[in-house]
Amino acid sequence: MMPFGMQPQIILLKEGTDTSQGKAQLISNINACAALTDTVRTTLGPRGMDKLIYDDKGNVTISNDGATIMKLLDVVHPAAKTLVDVSLSQDAEVGDGTTTVVVLAGEFLREAKPYIEEGVHPRSIMRSYRQAATLAVAKVKELSVSLEGKPEAERRDLLVKCAATSLNSKLVSGERDFFAEMVVSAVSRLDPATLDLKMIGMKKVIGGGLRDSFLVDGVAFKKTFSYAGFEQQPKSFKNPKILALNIELELKSEKENAEIRLDDPAQYQSIVDAEWNIIYDKLAKCVASGAQVVLSRLAIGDLGTQYFADRGVFCAGRVAEEDLQRVCKATGARVQTTVNNLDTAVLGTCESFEERQVGGDRYNLFTGCPEARTATIVLRGGSEQFIDEADRSLHDAIMIVRRALKHAHVVPGGGAIDMELSRVLRDHARTIPGKSQLFIASFARALEAIPRQLCDNAHFGVDVNNGGVCNTFDAFVWEPALVKINAIQSATEGACLILSVDETVRNPASEAPDASAMGGGRGGMGGRGGMGGRGRGRGMRR
């Protein structure tokens, strides 16, 4: 019996649940985030190092892109996962600054750690951090330089400088000028009202060097599997009519279940001929439409390939959905699910079509597309891992140029803007009484982590090209203001989110976490065994 006056014990959580709270768990979360920050900080800047990551399947990735590394690290600590989400959010929003945002968030937490250990309430630190972030963002907007109203040539030059700054820290930095021009040309070909990135294709061809990469003013995709007879097809057209289909053009036995009774054996041949007549009718209607290029998501068989070749028509079957959609948007073609009632309204067109040899592959190129402005970058390189990293590098540069075009403001890069923000916040902190002065000064110190890490990674001077100090704006080291604004805001909110956690609850693992899977597996094996037994039984009965 419970003694009189004692309260009954209340059990809220399942037995085995692990809970931690108070100062110790907050410090543990900060340490985990700091460890993750230390992992990626060495990749920052033009002299940053790469990370080689391989998984249990043997896939190897070499990259210094923050978002890519974060995705592949498979972080398990719940607090550190927050920084992973912050990095991926930065990548989705602006496309670059993914390492910067993680380094800043980690430094904000590192600067807050001594105050937490001394018993300062996290809410006080969070309030000051948010105030400092607001001031920093306002200063970035004040210091930014607008691209609006500038001559087209000067504006393009500014965009090339922004793209080159993004590529400075990548594996392709040795050819940054070459690729910066290519990226700006690709983005400039898009519709300025939407700047739809889906209209920029990226194709990778192993072999050759980076300088062998080229830009297609239109759509390009790898030649699909072709049947015998494609050699006789024409490989280039001027102003062709393009037909896009989503049907098979292949001779197949009809699958309809039917019973046919014949009075005359001669009628059997007419039934066999009916299957041939169906496919010939489809092919004839495609040719009668006036199309000179026929594309289909589904197969175009050897009969169709030879039929089109005899009539001077190019065809490609099993075209990828993404490529077919880009061709349709660019040329004005409409995907058809039937060949009945084809007319010129459903056909697309372009100035030129050709099939070209690129390395060991052949590519179909559609250029001069009238309906939608599009571009395709064909990347060349010596290995698959190298081309994959070049692809990620160009993606970041494309996002940077797109954001610069949309928001048309840039700021100096190379840590210059971070040092200026730190100076402004330090001066502001001296005007504030109380503990907020200390917290804003800590925020200012954290901003210095970016230029400090750039120096650490370079191992000499601030100017990594010549040594010493340089004016980054005069040196054309620029980045869109939006990248810096988003990085400061995301890093601040990520740090505040970690600081706001006062308890961590880890639910207990199930006693048999794989029980259902194991059961299913045994059942599956049993089922297969049973099926095998029945199969053997049928064989024996025969």
Q: Which residues neighbour 24 within 8 Å (Cβ) at sequence distance 6 or greater?
A: none
Of how many residues is the chain composed? 542
In the set 37, 65, 82, 96, the catalytic residue is 65
**Rg of the chain, C-alpha, whole Å:** 31
With vertex at residue 448, the alpha carbon angle to CA 447 and CA 450, rounded to the nearest 5 degrees, is 85
- Coil, helix or strand for 45? coil
Tokens of 73: 């690290």
**Amino acid letter, 20:** S
Q: With beta carbons less than 8 A apart as the criterion, state whether 236 and 398 touch.
A: no
Quick one: which of 218, 195, 242, 186 has its CA closest to 326? 218
Q: Which residues neighbour 151 within 8 Å (Cβ) at sequence distance 6 or greater?
A: none
Backbone angles phi, psi at 227, to 5 degrees: -90, 175
Quick one: which of 491, 487, 450 has its CA closest to 97? 487
For residue 17, the 8-state DSSP code is -
Tokens of 407: 């928001």
Tokens of 78: 């719940």
Residue 98 is among the residues annotated as catalytic for this protein: yes
Residue with structure tokens 């390492």?
A: 99
Q: Which residues neighbour 290 within 8 Å (Cβ) at sequence distance 6 or greater?
A: 241, 344, 347
Residue with structure tokens 């912050």?
A: 86
Tokens of 169: 């820290």
In the set 37, 43, 61, 99, the catalytic residue is 99
Distance CA 450, CA 318 (A): 48
Looking at 87-199, which runs of residues are DSSP E strands? 145-146
Residue 463 is among the residues annotated as catalytic for this protein: no
In the set 37, 68, 98, 376, the catalytic residue is 98
Residue 18 is among the residues annotated as catalytic for this protein: no
In the set 91, 96, 323, 396, the catalytic residue is 396
Exposure string of 308-347, with b = 16+ CB inside 10 Å and e = fewer, is bbeeebbbbbebeeebbbbbbbbbbbebbeebeebeeebb
Distance CA 388, CA 281 (A): 44
Distance CA 111, CA 444 (A): 10
Distance CA 251, CA 339 (A): 15
Residue 99 is among the residues annotated as catalytic for this protein: yes
User: Which residues are catalytic, by number?
Assistant: 65, 98-99, 396
